[in-house]
Amino acid sequence: MTGKSSYSVVFMDVLAPAVQRAIASVFEPPFVVRFAMNYDPAHQLDLCRSADFLVPGWAQLTAEMLEAATRVKAVHKWGIGVDRIDVAAAKRLGIPVVITAGSNAGPVSELAIALMLAVYRRIYYVNREMRAGKWPKSEMRESCFQIHGKTVGLVGFGNIGRKVARRLSGFEPQRILYCDQSPAPPEIEQSLGARRVEFHELLASSDIVSLHAPYTNETRHLIGRASIGRMKKGSVLINTARGELVDEAALADALARGHLLGAGLDAFDPEPPDLDSPLLKLDQVIVTPHAGGGVFDNVVPVAAHVLRNLKCFMAGQPIAQQDVINAGTRRPI
């Protein structure tokens, strides 16, 4: 590897000290890691100006920030979603954009199933009632359900959707349906027990609808009043993808009317959600802070994935195609 004696790799998210230490333990010279102290725009802009590589997760990366990042050789997303990165600006500036494809699929898929169980078994409600000195055992039997025997519909069947299907098999659902622009190979469908259907059929047939699609202009409010109206009465919505996929007002209305049994939400629009959001006032809604991939024992593997790609970039070697969003034109210096 030739060029400068060191390269600054800037992690743009505010991370706990233990997470910073775990990431730093992976990196080695000539890469030197730095971490954001806050999300203040001026601070984030300064980080961009001084970085050789930018690693945003939840942090936003705008055209203005990319234009100021004259030293930056590549942007490497921590995770997979690039909707908070101005990819068009990066492409215009010749800056490569790379992701860690599949790196968070395991933790996110586990949370999706945890949310299904939490909604079906009313975990939030019963935990609160018991802490208040109540014993709601009798009422739980008439209002709780199991995944066994249910139809689960997966909207999006990439790395995360497939891992959800694999993990669901132990719960013995009746069927696993999925919709995706690209059909999975027949051997994958067979091994996971999943069948591809059209979106409208998935909505009408599923007891649980779980979202695993990216946010694009086309998928904004994919789950809106019309699509919710097509869902089975008493069904459940799970969203561990992006908040923008769901019309939250329409969802809250459907829950309040009893058309939907409940929802498990790890993503919101905006984030964090407004405190007066009606979704936060409903017992049948389980919420988590967009932390599907946020498990400590996955930090080192994701950091190693990032480092591996940066080494390939600096050595002029190809990066796995599934990780490349924009190849860019900038080269190592």
What is the tens place of the pLDDT at every residue in 78-112?
999 999 999 999 999 999 999 999 999 999 999 99
Size of the chain in residues: 333
Do 97 and 33 reside in the same domain of the chain? yes
Do 165 and 249 reside in the same domain of the chain? yes
- Is 331 among the domain residues? no
Is residue 271 among the annotated active site residues? yes
Burial grade of 29 (CB within 10 A; 0-12, 13-18, 19 or more): exposed
Rounded-to-integer distance, Cα 214 and Cα 136, Å:
39
Residue 14: give its domain's CATH number.
3.40.50.720
Do 282 and 314 reside in the same domain of the chain? no
Digit-coded pLDDT (tens) for 241-299: 999 999 999 999 999 999 999 999 999 999 999 999 999 999 999 999 999 999 999 99
Q: Which of 28, 172, 198, 271 is catalytic?
A: 271
pTM of the full structure? 0.94
Do 137 and 252 reside in the same domain of the chain? yes
Do 118 and 99 reside in the same domain of the chain? no
- Is 262 among the domain residues? yes
Low-confidence spans in the chain with pLDDT less than 70:
1-3, 333
Q: Which of 76, 122, 212, 290 is catalytic?
A: 290
Q: Is the peptide bond before 270 cis (omega within 30 degrees of 0)?
A: yes
- List CB contacts of 81: < 8 A, sequence separation 6 or more: 214, 215, 242
Per-position DSSP letters for 114-127, written without gaps between them: HHHHHHHTTHHHHH
Is residue 290 among the annotated active site residues? yes
- Is 1 among the domain residues? no
Is residue 189 among the annotated active site residues? no
Do 36 and 57 reside in the same domain of the chain? yes
The total of structural domains in the chain comes to 2
Do 300 and 282 reside in the same domain of the chain? no
3-state helix, strand, coil in the chain (%, to 5): 40, 15, 45
Do 162 and 267 reside in the same domain of the chain? yes
- Is 244 among the domain residues? yes
Angle between helices 105-120 and 123-131 (to 10 degrees): 60
Do 280 and 300 reside in the same domain of the chain? no
Do 74 and 120 reside in the same domain of the chain? no
Q: Which of 242, 244, 248, 305 is catalytic?
A: 242
Residue 51: which domain range?
Answer: 7-103+296-326
